[in-house]
Structure 1
Amino acid sequence: MFHEMYNAWPFFRVTIDLVEMVFAKGDPGIAALYDKLLVSEDLWSFGELLRSDYEETKSLLLQVAGHNELLEGDPCLKQRLRLRDSYITTLNVCQAYTLKRIRDPTYNVTLRPHITKEYIESKPAAELVSLNPESEYAPGLEDTLILTMKGI
């Protein structure tokens, strides 16, 4: 019945297409990272339940739209979202670790062996760190959080 409504009722179709776009932008993996870093362990099961509900709802949404994958009916939008995925994912990861660091100043990220600690000082990075020298957090943390929110 819902599939027939999707095909026959323009308003219903547009609504389902908008919900499909929202689901295409969602990333349960990033949500799991936020849980792991920022949520107390006793609430992790709630996050797992939400991610399970996300997958179930996505499956039902695809059935209603008659699609095999999200945004199958809008390949241009699908391509645009794919192009931005690497940037958005990076910003989300930066935001999650920045929030973790702000909430727990003793938290330190352990670098993997293949990642070097060497970096080249550059004026723009130094300027970013000095954007908000009055912050109560370590230099650059609050600015990083603000930049990730604006970027996302």
Structure 2
Amino acid sequence: MDTATQTESLHIVCPQCDAVNRVPAMKLSHTPTCGKCHRELFAGKPVDLTSARFLKHIERSDLPVLVDFWAPWCGPCRQMAPFFEQAAMGLEPMYRVVKVNTEEAQDLAARYAIRSIPTLALFKGGREVARQPGAMDARGIMAWAQQNNPS
């Protein structure tokens, strides 16, 4: 991290209460907590997002947001789930890692034209910057996210 990056503050959406927090970039790895609910901003696991919460997390966060679009009936999705959890531990706090159940959030599946699941999508500044259909292991997920990060 260069000096300018270390002194800038980032907007981080709380995974519990959805409050937008300003966190100095250099303090991301120091277990920051939410100013509203006082819970940790990063738990090392994916955040389950509903349609109502999704846009706030991708539009208001300064971090890249890695999304797993999945469904409970999907075998490859269930196989990838523990790998996605492992990837979350390795990617946070430089990424927000989230899951969207396409059965419950059919509007998001339609809006983002999710044609197969699981599908990974990387968002930055509210827009999708990369997409990868199909199951991957934790190392593959992390490598794909880092390779496609536009920062």
TM bucket (normalised to shorter chain) is under 0.3
Relative to its length, the structure with more strand (as a share) is 2
TM-score using structure 2 length: 0.28
Relative to its length, the structure with more helix (as a share) is 1
The higher radius of gyration belongs to 1
